[in-house]
Structure 1
Amino acid sequence: MTLHDDLYGIQKSCYSQNTKTGEYFVKENGISYIVSGELEAFDGKTVHRYKKGDIVLYKKNTLIRFVKYAQPTNVFEAISVVFDDTLLQEYAQRYHICCAQLPEQSLYKVKSDILLNAYFTSLKSYFSREITPALAQLKKEEAIHLLLLHNETYKNVLFHFATPGKIDLEAFMNNNFRFNVPLSQLAFLTGRSLATFKRDFEKVFKTSPNKWIQQKRLEEAYYLLENKKMKTKDVYLEVGFETLSHFSYAFKKHFGIAPSNV
């Protein structure tokens, strides 16, 4: 069973299967509270793990792969509040807030806080009734206020409005080749148009993005199968293939053997 309620950016997600996996291109800043179950999130560099009662602040323009675990409660549930740029810009203008420096991380585990815990507990009752957009706006502003009261440096995450600047393409791709997202999103995150991204990519890697990504994923898959003794059914998802059949076909074509024989 999967349930997803959205009250103008205040969201509740509930999954009753043992695990749920997926990938997000995070377009807006937000905060999530783990009501039950556990969450594992990979941002291209680090695997982050969160459990019941944890609060996670996440940065926009980020690639995240997640695994949501329902055990031991048999339900994974989270309440999230999404902050769109218009809301944040109006809030920053009203309270004269400026971003002091660029955010260094994609995910921030917010330390236990009585006020924030009480805030998310209060949101639970909102999903059983209709609320107005104006009330949702007030509740989102309350979350921003509580976050800044808890840790003022979070303003660098919430109020950083610039689009991604041009960054080192090689380092970015080596960190993010596992994410199964369109080239246009990868281009955006490196501060390039799609055409410039493809042109710069061929200069750096001497091949096209699609060919390089597939070869890199297959090489990573071989390493995981041979050295980490992972199972084929886990590896294909780990390295970014959509289906097991496509992975098995591409692997055998590239290495001459089936992944199950490594």
Structure 2
Amino acid sequence: MSDFHMVVCVKAVSGSTEVKMDPKTNTIVRDGKQAVINPFDASALECALALKDDFIGFGMDVRVTVVSMGIPATESLLRDCIARGADDALLLTDRAFAGADTLATTYALKCGIEALDEDFDLLICGKMAVDGDTAQIGPELAGAFEIPCVTDVSCVQSAGFTTCGSLALIHGCDAGEETVYLEMPCAMTTAKEIGQLRMPSIAGIRAAEEADVRVVSAADVNADPARCGLAGSPTQVVRSFVPDRDQTCEAVEGTVPEQAAKLAKIIEEMA
């Protein structure tokens, strides 16, 4: 058992701006092609790795576990996380998880995290996913585990952890920024400003190749099928479409007063 255990939730998102939708389920098609780590989650991982460096400096035994829910191809991204400094990874992959909204995703992730070998001290998520923009997973996980949560964290000050057992977190709020103190266990979501994910080292790449990424199904983590995927999602997309674009133009001629009158009429007809 490590002295300090951090769990970082990451999501695979498309590296392309072209998003495909399943016409039957109205959910995003995730085929693994051009997939990358969600940028906000990459910053969350860097936050955990920086804290790991700090705590090791305090003489602590620190472990960083990366957890994701996705298709089997997501395993390669988790190995990349290990190459950059994470210690181990867990991938939840099962057709039962397909089409999950944030509530069903939170439930599956909670089941996966509870199946880990040890409890966590700090849970870190990116502020939001660039393909969904809900910013709900981090706070929902904190609620599921009944632990405090701070969102939109841009800076973590760990110097006081060994003396008072809490982290000083600077995060965005309505007034601008504020500093809050959290005792463990707790959760936080990170802004991109918290740090850019470091490059993998040669030793890290070798370790990632040999690492045993734990791949589990819904049954493996004792997840209730009724609470997973589309079946467990109270919110669903009813319809998705690509907006029609009209690129025709109309020349407005005449004197300035005539042009103004014609333009006003065009705007009225558009309303």
TM range (shorter): under 0.3
Structure with bigger gyration radius: 2
Q: How high is the TM-score relative to the length of structure 2?
A: 0.21
Q: How high is the TM-score relative to the length of structure 1?
A: 0.21
Query: 1 or 2, which has the higher helix percentage?
Result: 1
- Bigger relative contact order, structure 1 or 2 (CA pairs below 8 A, ≥6 apart): 2
